[in-house]
Structure 1
Amino acid sequence: MARRNSGSREDMPKAKLTMANLRETLLIFSYVRPYLGKFITGLVFITLSSLTTMSFPYLLKQLIDTANGAKSPFGTSGAIVGWMFAILTVQMLFSFMRIYLFTSVGENAVADMRRDIYRKMITMPMDFFAQRRVGELSSRISADLSQIQEAVTSLLAEVLRGILTLIIGIGLILYISPLLTGVMLSVIPVIIIIAIVFGKFIRRFSRQTQDQLADSNTIVQETLQGISNVKSFTNEWFEINRYTRSLQQVVKMAIKSGQYRGMFVSFLLFSLFGTIVLVVWYGIGHLNFGDLTAFVVYTAFVGGSMAGFADLYGQLQKTLGATQRVRELLKDIPEQVSEQDEPVQPEHVLHGQVTLQNVAFSYPTRSELPVLRDVSVTVMPGEQVAIVGPSGAGKSTIAALLLRFYEPGSGQLLYDGKPATTIPLTQLRKQIALVPQDVLLFGGTIRENILYGKPDASQEEIEQAARQAHAHEFIVNFPEGYETVVGERGVKLSGGQRQRIAIARAILKNPVILILDEATSSLDAASESLVQEALDNLMKNRTSFIIAHRLSTIRSADKIVVLEKGVVKELGTHQELLNLPDGLYRELNRLQLEITGVE
């Protein structure tokens, strides 16, 4: 359900302002700490900026008084103008330094946080990804961290500047006229309360508009993703009408929202200028013109600060919510994998013997449904073992257990007679290669995708692996050769080409144990023939697990494991299993032969 754009911060969930939630913000300051010098200097410049800003109305008062014949400690009117331009120049410097320092601190701190969250994400176990959507995780790194970045670079500065302006402004207007200050303070809080209540109503209406716009975007996304269905059913007219109706709702709600915003802005302008008129009217006869001008300007500063706190409060709530979600992610326990490229240590070198000993397993999200039940299989080094069975029998689950994406619920997984848990995850996975049915290629070049199997390989090694995978021939026919960009997820290549690049990647890795998860099931006959030859090259002298639906591809396997409902139903060679009367493998083979005959 794609109701909202995960990258938008317009309507991010907010957290209540409690002490527990405020403590969560300590996460932000732990990342600011390495840049504490710049951060403190930025705070100093905020203070100086506020002081120079608040001094300007006072100098304006002195200028007006001087024009009316009064004496000023700053000298003549020309001297006061000089002081004002000097303060404006200093103010420019202070503002520049404040923005520069806080931007520097914010960018660096959030870059460190992004790096740590990304590192945490990719080291999490597979169960973590099974329970979360990619859009949600992407939002943690994009929208949530952008909100935190905004807090570091501007929110903290605005809060501090607002507090300083409020304190200094109220102090100065009290100094100028306590009586007039009482009049002003009695009116502004009422205006602010009304503005906050009205503002909440407008924000709620704005969220509804955003939701409706998100629905419109969802229609576009769904239509473009399923464009072949749209055209094959000639339903272009239907989709155009559906999108038009949704857009009309957006326009209707946006216009209504604009009407409320117009009323809100009009109210604020009326209230602000009405207050100033009231203050000026009341101040005539009580203050001279210079004091009255300074009082009005300071009143505008104080009122602006008070009104700004409503928006700052909302931004703070969003930041607390973002910090909570990021902190929850950082609290999760990752896999014990190495974050450095390391060679396989001699004590962890595998020879290829694999034993599943009374293994039972259920996925954590469906613990009540056992996928494997008491599975026991021993595979000797260099053997080719096929795993077959109906859909849902647990074939791909065995592949996931071999890579230790998950741990068995009971029983043991042994490599060379040693429990898998005694071998560090990185050391184990460096010696296993997986060639899946749906190959995912990264959006770079063919060379970069093959190189993923061994990042430090030479061009000669890359080409040798490609030749063994029967990929070199089609690669060199591209104008850019190995530098051909494959596109997102490899969309610019055919299924067979993607499979052969995946095989070249596995050959370059030179694994001890190989897992082929239905690597040829989605290919046409011509592509399957080439890919099968490449797989035969890859499987030589390696312990290989072949998960297959097409039984014709596994007849030469040393051992065939037949699974049914998570149990090893039959075990033997192709011929031995065919000789079993009423055997499941024999029945599966007969059905496939009949289907092939029909074709």
Structure 2
Amino acid sequence: MAATDTASAARTDALADAAAPASKRVRSLSGLAPFLRPYKRQIALAGVFLVLAALSTLALPVALKSLIDQGLVAADPGERIMALRGHFFALFAVGAALGLFSAARFYMVTWLGERVTADLRNAVYAHVLKQSPEFFETTQTGEVLSRLTTDTTLVQTVVGSSLSMGLRNTVMGIGAMAMLIVTNPYVMSQVLGTLVLVVLPSLWLGRRVRKLSRASQDRVADSSAIAAEVLNAIPVVQSYGQEQREAQRFDAATENAFETARRRTRVRSALVAFIITATFGALLWGLYQGTQAVLKGDMTAGHLAQTVVFVTILVSSVAVLSEVYGDLLRAAGATERLMELLATTSKIASPAQPRELPLSRGGAAVALHGVTFRYPSRPKHAALAQFDLDVKPGETVALVGPSGAGKSTVFQLLLRFYDASEGSITIDGVPVREVALETLRQRIGIVPQDSVIFSANAMENIRYGRPEASDDEVIAAAKAAFAHDFVTALPEGYQTFLGERGVRLSGGQRQRISIARAMLKNPPLLLLDEATSALDAESERMVQAALESAMKDRTTLVIAHRLATVQRADRIVVMEAGRIVESGTHAQLSEAGGLYARLAALQFDQDQG
């Protein structure tokens, strides 16, 4: 339980720290700091084991020097054998310590990598779920999925492996350098001066690798976005015979990603080659000076062997660091993309001090006064213009009109997916902007035109409307929506898996599942968006009866074109170009000869045809 609380706190703190203003967005691996902060104890342990493993490695050359200079100097063969045994035992002890500390370090850093990546992935996903529809107007689903998978995997590689290797080799490299300076100060001062010349070109190449790493991740996200879009519309793609064209489009995107990755790899390879070659050359110069010292008698053979091993450690550390540096630069690009996503703030948020909605009896009162709204993607076109609508508790109001009249926009504003630029929207007398989003949306049930079925069984799909509902309540809702019979006829009844997006059900069956979900929620305000559009005549009659039962004691707004759906409404509101042009009952509007009468006549002619 404590671990769960810690992880939850980590995600909350990280999200708060990461969602900074655009001018303060984190643009490096330091953006991971909020996710690492809750695990200071584990990081400290990993650091201790890392240092101990590095020191164990650095102890090997010292033990080797003692073996050569002291284990072979005894004149008596027996004493020499005993001395060699002692030194070999010392070497084994150093090796055993190295193995133990390395294993402990590996476990701790791998645990950290998995834990931090999980927290980061959860924080990003939870943050995306809170974004308003405006966010998804400009951001493709495939782009988000790429950041959740590919980018977080890169971060996991760094935190769980590369960063640890980099720190370990940094400690070993610094230690080896320090020992070489102590034992050969004059020679190593020359080597250090040469190594400074290696750093400046490396930094320049490193910036190039980082930019190309970010570009490479963007291109991978492009191909993911194409795949997600096409796979979600596979019936349309196949019905139009566009499989080859879509495969070519995806191929072009992946080739673009490959080309960007190739350029990144080329620059990174040049960086690795330059660092290793330059460092190795500088250290060989120092080693050459050491051999000259042995020949002059200024250094023992054991001292030279120790120097050779320290040089080997230093060179290998630099080689590993050059590889790790490339990984860090690549992960920095992925971290930037994740931090940018976390820094995205939704314009639709709960108020700091939300008001409570009064308990609705017999339905909710709805009022829209002087509402003007433009979608962010269409700022010059008003979806609603000075729109006024009052709905009494328990009243059923049908919204009709041609496509683009603004009917669905009314629903989106009531659910507060967007905020109106002008006017007021209230439910039970309370402005929707002053109510917590969760509270507001708990009071509203919606049956969309395109039914959404999740990859779960029938029971859980209906229970989505009220997760705490019992099995009996779910079954009662299914019966009310005339879904019980076809659900029980499925191979495993309510436990039958419905497939991704409900592919195992017909359109009418999916719609009845959606209606049952809304009935189970039992809200005071019900929004029906073409709720019977996918039903055949027989199913429509059954669902109409269920909907009429569901409309009792609650306020209902209905968007529909079919007269059978709207004729029984208490009032029909006719919309055109974001305004109300007519209002009345079916009989009144039919006699008026206006827009409603023309739409009704057109539908009657189509039905007759």
TM-score range, shorter chain: 0.7 to 0.9
From 474, 480, 492, the counterpart of 2:504? 492
**CA deviation profile, 1:372-420 (whole Å, cap 9, x unmatched):** 1111122222221110111111000001112222222222223233433
| Contact 1:192/1:306, CA 8 A, preserved across alignment | no
- Shift of residue 60 of structure 1? 1.9
Q: Which runs of 5+ in 2 are unaligned?
A: 1-22, 295-299
Following superposition of structure 1 onto structure 2, how do residues 411-422 of structure 1 map, counting pairs within 5 Å? 411-422=423-434
Provide closer, same or farther for how the CA distance between residues 523 and 532 of structure 1 changes in structure 2, counting only shifts above 3 A: same
Which residue pairs with 2:19 in the alignment? Answer: none
Q: Which runs of 5+ in 1 are unaligned?
A: 1-18, 339-343
Provide closer, same or farther for how the CA distance between residues 461 and 310 of structure 1 changes in structure 2, counting only shifts above 3 A: same
Provide closer, same or farther for how the CA distance between residues 92 and 436 of structure 1 changes in structure 2, counting only shifts above 3 A: same
Q: Does 1:119 align with 2:123?
A: no
Following superposition of structure 1 onto structure 2, how do residues 571-586 of structure 1 map, counting pairs within 5 Å? 571-581=583-593, 583-586=594-597
Q: Does 1:402 align with 2:414?
A: yes
Q: Does 1:35 align with 2:39?
A: yes
- Shift of residue 47 of structure 1? 1.5
- 1:286 is paired with a residue whose SS is helix
- Shift of residue 555 of structure 1? 1.5
Q: CA RMSD in A?
A: 4.3
Q: Does 1:506 align with 2:506?
A: no
From 177, 181, 187, the counterpart of 1:170? 177
From 107, 114, 118, the counterpart of 1:100? 107
| Contact 2:357/2:435, CA 8 A, preserved across alignment | no
- 1:79 is paired with a residue whose SS is helix
Whole-Å Cα distance in 1 between the matches of residues 604 and 220 of structure 2? 53
Whole-Å Cα distance in 2 between the matches of residues 271 and 79 of structure 1? 39
Following superposition of structure 1 onto structure 2, how do residues 529-548 of structure 1 map, counting pairs within 5 Å? 529-548=541-560
| Contact 1:353/1:379, CA 8 A, preserved across alignment | yes
- 2:293 is paired with a residue whose SS is coil
Q: Does 1:516 align with 2:524?
A: no
From 442, 448, 452, the counterpart of 1:440? 452
In the superposition, the TM-score normalised over structure 2's length comes to 0.80
Letter in 2 for 1:158: M
- Shift of residue 358 of structure 1? 2.0
Letter in 2 for 1:441: I
Provide closer, same or farther for how the CA distance between residues 75 and 51 of structure 1 changes in structure 2, counting only shifts above 3 A: farther
| Contact 2:451/2:514, CA 8 A, preserved across alignment | yes
Whole-Å Cα distance in 2 between the matches of residues 222 and 439 of structure 1? 18
Provide closer, same or farther for how the CA distance between residues 451 and 42 of structure 1 changes in structure 2, counting only shifts above 3 A: same
Following superposition of structure 1 onto structure 2, how do residues 289-438 of structure 1 map, counting pairs within 5 Å? 289-328=301-340, 329-330=342-343, 332=345, 336=349, 347-349=358-360, 351-438=363-450
Provide closer, same or farther for how the CA distance between residues 44 and 406 of structure 1 changes in structure 2, counting only shifts above 3 A: same
Whole-Å Cα distance in 1 between the matches of residues 580 and 468 of structure 2? 41
Give the stretch that moved more between structures: 179-188 or 418-427. Answer: 179-188
Which residue pairs with 1:142 in the alignment? Answer: 149
- Shift of residue 449 of structure 1? 1.0
| Contact 1:212/1:250, CA 8 A, preserved across alignment | yes
Which residue pairs with 1:593 in the alignment? Answer: 604
Which residue pairs with 2:92 in the alignment? Answer: 85
| Contact 2:272/2:323, CA 8 A, preserved across alignment | no
- Shift of residue 427 of structure 1? 2.6
Provide closer, same or farther for how the CA distance between residues 285 and 96 of structure 1 changes in structure 2, counting only shifts above 3 A: same
From 42, 62, 69, the counterpart of 1:65? 69
Which residue pairs with 2:10 in the alignment? Answer: none
- Shift of residue 463 of structure 1? 0.9
From 457, 479, 488, the counterpart of 2:491? 479
Whole-Å Cα distance in 1 between the matches of residues 440 and 250 of structure 2? 51
Provide closer, same or farther for how the CA distance between residues 202 and 131 of structure 1 changes in structure 2, counting only shifts above 3 A: closer
Letter in 1 for 2:45: T
Whole-Å Cα distance in 2 between the matches of residues 222 and 335 of structure 1? 26
| Contact 1:490/1:498, CA 8 A, preserved across alignment | yes
Which residue pairs with 1:7 in the alignment? Answer: none
Whole-Å Cα distance in 1 between the matches of residues 407 and 554 of structure 2? 20
- 1:371 is paired with a residue whose SS is strand
Give the stretch that moved more between structures: 350-359 or 236-245. Answer: 236-245
Provide closer, same or farther for how the CA distance between residues 174 and 79 of structure 1 changes in structure 2, counting only shifts above 3 A: same
- 1:493 is paired with a residue whose SS is coil
Whole-Å Cα distance in 1 between the matches of residues 247 and 146 of structure 2? 30
- 1:357 is paired with a residue whose SS is strand
In the superposition, the TM-score normalised over structure 1's length comes to 0.81
| Contact 1:117/1:330, CA 8 A, preserved across alignment | no
- Shift of residue 282 of structure 1? 4.6
Which residue pairs with 2:291 in the alignment? Answer: 284
| Contact 2:399/2:574, CA 8 A, preserved across alignment | yes
Letter in 2 for 1:165: M
| Contact 2:511/2:534, CA 8 A, preserved across alignment | no
**CA deviation profile, 1:78-118 (whole Å, cap 9, x unmatched):** 21111111111111221122222333344444444444444
| Contact 1:123/1:337, CA 8 A, preserved across alignment | no
| Contact 1:276/1:296, CA 8 A, preserved across alignment | no
Letter in 1 for 2:558: I
- Shift of residue 541 of structure 1? 3.1
- Shift of residue 236 of structure 1? 7.1
Provide closer, same or farther for how the CA distance between residues 424 and 413 of structure 1 changes in structure 2, counting only shifts above 3 A: same
- Shift of residue 164 of structure 1? 1.9
Give the stretch that moved more between structures: 473-482 or 156-165. Answer: 156-165
- Shift of residue 232 of structure 1? 5.6
Letter in 2 for 1:429: R
Which residue pairs with 1:9 in the alignment? Answer: none
- 1:385 is paired with a residue whose SS is strand
**CA deviation profile, 1:512-556 (whole Å, cap 9, x unmatched):** 111011122244444434433332332233211111122342112
Letter in 1 for 2:481: A
Letter in 1 for 2:587: Q
**CA deviation profile, 1:428-472 (whole Å, cap 9, x unmatched):** 321210000111122111101111112121211111111111110
Q: Does 1:452 align with 2:464?
A: yes
| Contact 2:350/2:433, CA 8 A, preserved across alignment | no
| Contact 1:496/1:531, CA 8 A, preserved across alignment | no
Provide closer, same or farther for how the CA distance between residues 73 and 321 of structure 1 changes in structure 2, counting only shifts above 3 A: farther
Which residue pairs with 2:297 in the alignment? Answer: none
Whole-Å Cα distance in 1 between the matches of residues 339 and 251 of structure 2? 41
Which residue pairs with 1:341 in the alignment? Answer: none
| Contact 1:46/1:157, CA 8 A, preserved across alignment | yes
| Contact 1:192/1:307, CA 8 A, preserved across alignment | no
Provide closer, same or farther for how the CA distance between residues 213 and 32 of structure 1 changes in structure 2, counting only shifts above 3 A: closer
**CA deviation profile, 1:311-369 (whole Å, cap 9, x unmatched):** 4444444454444444442562575559xxxxx97844354222222222122343332
Whole-Å Cα distance in 1 between the matches of residues 219 and 147 of structure 2? 23
Give the stretch that moved more between structures: 509-518 or 117-126. Answer: 117-126
| Contact 2:398/2:572, CA 8 A, preserved across alignment | yes
| Contact 1:22/1:320, CA 8 A, preserved across alignment | no
Which residue pairs with 1:6 in the alignment? Answer: none
Provide closer, same or farther for how the CA distance between residues 253 and 468 of structure 1 changes in structure 2, counting only shifts above 3 A: closer
Whole-Å Cα distance in 2 between the matches of residues 142 and 62 of structure 1? 51
- 1:482 is paired with a residue whose SS is helix
Provide closer, same or farther for how the CA distance between residues 213 and 490 of structure 1 changes in structure 2, counting only shifts above 3 A: same
Which residue pairs with 1:559 in the alignment? Answer: 571
Which residue pairs with 1:158 in the alignment? Answer: 165
Whole-Å Cα distance in 1 between the matches of residues 420 and 273 of structure 2? 66
How many correspondences in the alignment?
Answer: 574
Provide closer, same or farther for how the CA distance between residues 108 and 236 of structure 1 changes in structure 2, counting only shifts above 3 A: closer
- Shift of residue 144 of structure 1? 4.0
Q: Does 1:466 align with 2:466?
A: no
Provide closer, same or farther for how the CA distance between residues 80 and 406 of structure 1 changes in structure 2, counting only shifts above 3 A: same
